[in-house]
A and B are shown apart, each in its own frame.
Chain A
Amino acid sequence: MTIRRRLTLGFLTILTLFAVSEGIQYWSAQLRARTMTTLDRALKRQVLMASVRQQVSNLHNLMVQMSQVEDAQAVGGVFNADIAHAANDVHELAGLTGEQAQAEVAQLEQTYATLSAAWRGFFDNLGADESQYVAAQLKAEPLGKRVLSEILPRMQAQQDQSVTQARKRFEDVTRLTDRVSLGIFGLSMLASVAVAYVIGRYLTSALSELSVGASLIGAMNLKHRIAVKSKDEIGTVAAAFNDMAGNLARAQEELTAANVELTTRNAEVEHEKQVSQSLLLNILPELVAKELAANGKFAPRYFEDVTILFTDFVGFTLATEKLAAEELVDVLHGYFTAFDQIVSRYQMEKMKTIGDAYFCAGGLPVRTPSHPVDALLAAIEMVHEVEQRTLPGDLHWRVRIGLHSGPVVAGVVGIRKFAFDVWGDTVNLASRMESGGAPNRINVSESVYRRAKDFFTFESRGKVLTKEKKELDMFLLGGIQPALMVSSDRGAAAPPAFVQRYRTYFGKDPVAFPAFLLNNTADVITS
């Protein structure tokens, strides 16, 4: 049964009960009206009877008293109206009396007729004809007494009984109709409540089941099915929900399978990406690699201030004759690995190796003003590394290091085996500083000298002729300014004075400092 039909039936049930209630009310009103009419007639009879009694009593008393008046005159016309009025009341009383008391009323009417004739005889003859009015009085007195003492009291008793019965009947009817009305009202209420409860319970239960089911399905519990078996609208909605849940379950299964496949693919792609990213980072600076990955290219850009560092081993050619190729490569690998670590520590960028030469730069691709100082510290560590390392065959390699600061253009060239590289005179001049330097010494250009002379001591070499026959001012690094190495606390990462000056110049702490200098302040590159 549909909800609409259920509601219609419920409404019709309540409407029927309402109609029954109205019918009962109508019936009650009719019944009450009838009993009320009976009671009204009884009360009216009672009033009329009291009136008749009063009038008869008055006339009787009047007659008795008039009989005592010495010189009374005939006053018949005066009391005829009263006598007639009482006669009318008696007649009206007869009209209101039922068949049961008709005999009594008839007797009253008959007696009153005789009595009224006697009264008229009395009042008409009073003071005129003694024999007539005394005879009338003698006739009237017992009749009046009979009416007042016998007939009317008897009728009054009957009337009282009648009134009592009518009142009782009225009360009974009122009580009965009240009870019936109350019963029907109560029945209507109960039926209404029952209908409302049944429909409400059904709707609440079904909607609750629907709500719970929808929530569970909404929470992706797609195996849940709503248990509404009815054929109504809610059943239709439940079936639709169940179908939807089934479809969603199938779609979810397909989606899950697709997601698993996609996850696998993504993992593979991610792995490949990480591998390629790792490879890319091995050959490119991180910033360049990211831009390249993002845009597919790295636009060449101009760096106005960088420091280029070149190294070259002295006696490498001789070493190639004494060492096997594998050993030579191993030695180079050892040195360059150490150089890589040093360069990384000082946040410089390794550019490439060319044979036994090592080429790196500071101040790119991330611009930093401290790159000449950082590059010199790295160079000091490189020289120390070379001096400390022992080679097979009792060989000792030495290294020339040259630095120059200036502008370069940086970029990535090629589409296969591409590499990050820099171009410009700065690179050439740095190479000339290396080639024009001395073993295990750090040879710098004037630009480096000017930028780093407040941190380091230099030995000026004057103008040195390069292979291009150009004269360049060159300086050999002596070491760190002695003033900056005093009061060096053991365990500190760098001498405080050096750190303080570094902060003053560059607004930051040095990224690293040669540890061996902290233990042996005398060990400076002077050899």
Chain B
Amino acid sequence: MTWFRSRLLIVAALVAGLTTPRAFAQAGSAGDLAIVTHPDTPVDQLSFADARQVLKGERQYWTKDLPVVLFVRAPTSAERSAVLDVIYQMSEPQFKQYWIAKQFRAETATSPKNLKSNEATQQFVAATAGAIGFMAARDVKPGVKVVKIDGHLPGEKGYRLHLTGK
């Protein structure tokens, strides 16, 4: 029985190690910014350019029947500053003006939903089909899917999104 238990623990440990690589990545990415989506979103990784396209609202549908629902962090948050700095490459006023102009040009019928906390981001992305958002990688919990950027997860070498900016 002891042997059986010891073997079962070893197998469980191996299974756990194989199926949750993010846990490892997350463990090594405490200062990275994670791009998260609803688990059913048919996207696992995006190029940096694709991620920018989605976050700027230039791509509005994942599939024909699945629109992109964008969640952003509220102003003054470190995550928002990082995204504006790295992806949008805009200041806060420019960001707001960008979306207002986009709406007035009828290029979009939606706008980013501001959320005040990573927990809220975790909650809404997990609950909203087609949702995509960003949050501190350290706060990511099961229920959302962390998307690879240019083939890298947060915490991995070559990952470009960090809370500290460029």
Contact = CB atoms under 8 A, between A and B. Distances in A.
Contacts of A65: 100, 103, 111
Interface stretch (A142-150, A426-434, A474-482): A142-150
B100 A68 contact: yes
A144 B114 CA distance: 19
A145 B99 contact: no
A496 B155 CA distance: 183
A134 interface: yes
Contact of A70 (B75, B99, B111, B124): B75
A142 B96 CA distance: 21
A119 to B, nearest CB: 14
B110 A145 contact: yes
A35 interface: no
B18 interface: no
B113 A138 contact: yes
**Chain A, interface residues (CB within 8 Å), range:** 10 to 19
Interface in B60-115: 67, 69, 74-75, 96, 99-100, 103-104, 109-115
Nearest to A67: B111
A141 B110 contact: yes
**Secondary structure class of chain A's binding surface, majority of residues:** helix
Contacts of B111: 64-65, 67-68
B124 A134 contact: yes
A137 B113 contact: yes
Interface string B106-128: 00011111111000100110001
A134 B109 CA distance: 15
A488 B120 CA distance: 179
Nearest to B108: A64
A103 B74 CA distance: 42
B120 A130 contact: yes
A137 to B, nearest CB: 6
A148 B103 CA distance: 14
Contacts of A145: 109-110
A67 B69 CA distance: 14
Contacts of A131: 120, 123-124
A67 B110 CA distance: 10
B113 A67 contact: yes
A70 B103 contact: no
Nearest to A137: B113
A145 B110 CA distance: 9
Contact of B114 (A60, A68, A142, A149): A68
B109 A130 contact: no
Contacts of A142: 67
Interface in A139-170: 141-142, 144-145, 148-149
A61 interface: yes
Nearest to A131: B120
Interface in A112-131: 130-131
B17 to A, nearest CB: 36
B116 to A, nearest CB: 6
Contacts of A149: 109
Contact of B109 (A67, A138, A144): A144
Contacts of A68: 96, 99-100, 111-112, 114
B42 to A, nearest CB: 19
Interface string A337-381: 000000000000000000000000000000000000000000000
B97 to A, nearest CB: 10
Contacts of B114: 67-68, 134
A144 B111 CA distance: 13
Interface of B: 67, 69, 74-75, 96, 99-100, 103-104, 109-116, 120, 123-124, 128
10 contacts: A64-B110, A64-B111, A65-B100, A68-B96, A70-B74, A70-B75, A130-B120, A131-B124, A141-B110, A144-B109
Interface of A: 60-61, 64-65, 67-68, 70, 130-131, 134, 137-138, 141-142, 144-145, 148-149
